[in-house]
Amino acid sequence: MVEQTNTLNEQFGPMIEQIKELFFEFGIKNLNMDDISRKLGISKKTLYRFVKSKEDLIAQLFEYEELKWMELTKDISNQDVNAIEKLFKVSLMVYVEMKKFNPMLMFELRKYYETVFLEYHTRKLEQISQNMRLNLVQGIEEGLYRQDVNIDAVVAIYINYLIEIHSSDMCKTADITFDELFKVMFENHIRAISTPAGVAFFEARKKEVSENLKNNNQ
């Protein structure tokens, strides 16, 4: 019988982190429950105390990632910094996650766990959309983003860019790295919505953004 628990359970939480890294390293299809329990150093019986099946394990992994995302974005939103600074921090989180979540994992999730993945994907995009809306409102109030920005349109375009650069062969066809593509996307977004004051702030921080991306790629 599966224990009543959640992904922040003090026993299961650390396991989830390890399982996530295993999926990043070996892929999802290549690991069965025997492999996972062995690599965790526990019995399969112990693993099944927390999950019903591999599909349930993946669903709980997504729940764990959602909870982490909400905690991190809440922490950023509560910081006493301007909207562009907050967008820097959230975008770096998105960048790190996208770098790990390679196209092969996406393919396997869509093929073998489509329902679970699509439910998570929809929720995640909505979370990002909500965060962006709040950020746009703050930036407009601070005079860093233009008053005439169409919030819904900007959010829709940015989300579409995120999906496109992660799921397409754009990097291969354009012969540029994912890092370069992400930096250009982020800069274009900032310049398109910012006032002169916002652009000036971005220029002052542009080098730091590049350094942060570089450090997270090592």
CATH code (residue 151): 1.10.357
Compute the distance between CA of residue 137 and CA of residue 157 in angstroms, rounded to an integer.
17
Query: Which residues constitute the domain of residue 196?
Result: 79-215
Mean pLDDT of all residues in the chain?
A: 86
> With 80 as the cut, is the pLDDT of residue 218 above it?
no
Q: Is residue 96 part of a domain?
A: yes
Say if 39 falls within a structural domain.
no
As a whole number, mean pLDDT of residues 157-178 equals 70
Q: What is the largest distance, in Å, between two alpha-carbon atoms of the chain?
A: 61
Assigned domain for 52 exists: no
Instruction: Looking at mean pLDDT, say which of 6-10, 63-67, 206-210 comes out highest.
Output: 63-67
Angstrom distances, CA of residue 149 to CA of 158, 182, 196: 13, 22, 14
Residue 36 lies in a domain: no
Instruction: Please report whether residue 31 resides in a domain.
Output: no
Q: How far apart are CA 162 and CA 174, in angstroms?
A: 17
Has residue 105 been placed in a domain? yes
Q: Cβ(142)–Cβ(82) under 8 Å?
A: yes
Residue with tokens 């350094």, as numbered in its chain: 211
Domain count, the chain: 1
45-98 residue pLDDT tens = 999 999 999 999 999 999 999 998 999 999 999 999 999 999 988 888 887 887
pLDDT tier at 3, thresholds 50, 70, 90: very low
The answer to the question of residue 166 being in a domain is yes
Give the pLDDT of residue 178: 72
Rounded distance between C-alpha atoms, residue 76 and residue 72, angstroms = 6
First to last CA, the chain: 42
Residue 181 lies in a domain: yes
